[in-house]
Amino acid sequence: MKLISVGAAAVLAMLLAACTQGPNGQMETPLGGTKQTLGTLGGAGAGAFIGSQIGHGTGNLAATAIGGLLGAFVGSQVGKSLDRADELAAQQTTQRTLETTPDGQSLPWRNAENGHSGTVTPVRTYQESNGQYCREFQQTVTVGGQTQQAYGTACRQPDGTWKIVQQ
């Protein structure tokens, strides 16, 4: 279950972090594709990874393929539905929450133009042996009345930003 949570958080983070406004006003990835393409590719990769882990890491082809297809579908839907204002609100709220919010308390974000919203909730804070602070967290994103949850861990970088890490 933990791998699924980390995978979901990674997909959500990629969707939130990697889009830019293109010259035609459409959201684009750094490689020039749309945010839906980014969501599809990111979801497929994470889904395939999760599927291979469900297949006990043995390269179980069926589990990997099914995971990739499901991840591509989910990533496509999320990528299609989030716009730049949603992404910025979620990014800013995530950074602020991880930096200042006590465990168990949520900070919300909301795009008043389209009603999309979400929350970020730190669950556990700890310090690694190298002195780096890390936080387990939960994120929700609500689009069109459908809420998705993701779980992950982020560690504070020397520049003060928080970066999602895999465990």
Q: Are residues 70 and 120 in the same domain?
A: no
pLDDT at res. 165: 87
Say if residue 5 is exposed, middle or buried (CB neighbours under 10 Å; 0-12, 13-18, 19+). middle
Instruction: Tally the domains of the chain.
Output: 2
Q: Are residues 74 and 117 in the same domain?
A: no
Asked, for residue 93, whether it belongs to a domain, the answer is no
Asked, for residue 92, whether it belongs to a domain, the answer is no
Round to whole Å and give the CA distance between 84 and 91.
10
- Of 40, 18, 43, the residue nearest 150 (C-alpha): 43
118 CB neighbour count, 10 Å cutoff: 27
pLDDT in tens, the chain (167 residues): 444 444 444 444 444 444 444 444 444 434 334 455 555 555 655 555 555 555 555 555 555 556 555 566 556 555 556 688 888 998 899 999 999 999 999 999 999 989 999 999 999 999 999 999 999 999 999 998 999 999 999 999 999 999 988 53
Give the C-alpha distances (Å, rounded to integers) separating 18 from 8, 31, 37.
Answer: 16, 10, 11
pLDDT at res. 80: 59
Q: Are residues 41 and 106 in the same domain?
A: no
What is the residue range of 140's domain?
102-165
pLDDT at res. 84: 86
Asked, for residue 87, whether it belongs to a domain, the answer is no
Question: Taking phi first (over 0 means left), then psi (-120 to 50 degrees means alpha), and beta for anything else, what does residue 144 get?
Answer: left
- Of 75, 46, 74, 51, the residue nearest 61 (C-alpha): 51
Q: Are residues 74 and 107 in the same domain?
A: no
| Cα atoms in the 13 Å half-sphere on the side-chain side of 110 | 4
Q: Among 49, 81, 113, where does a domain finish?
A: 81
Q: Are residues 67 and 11 in the same domain?
A: yes
Q: Are residues 130 and 66 in the same domain?
A: no
pLDDT at res. 83: 81
Round to whole Å and give the CA distance between 122 and 57.
29
* Under 8 Å between Cβ of 166 and 10: yes
The runs of H, that is alpha helices, within 82-132 are 84-100
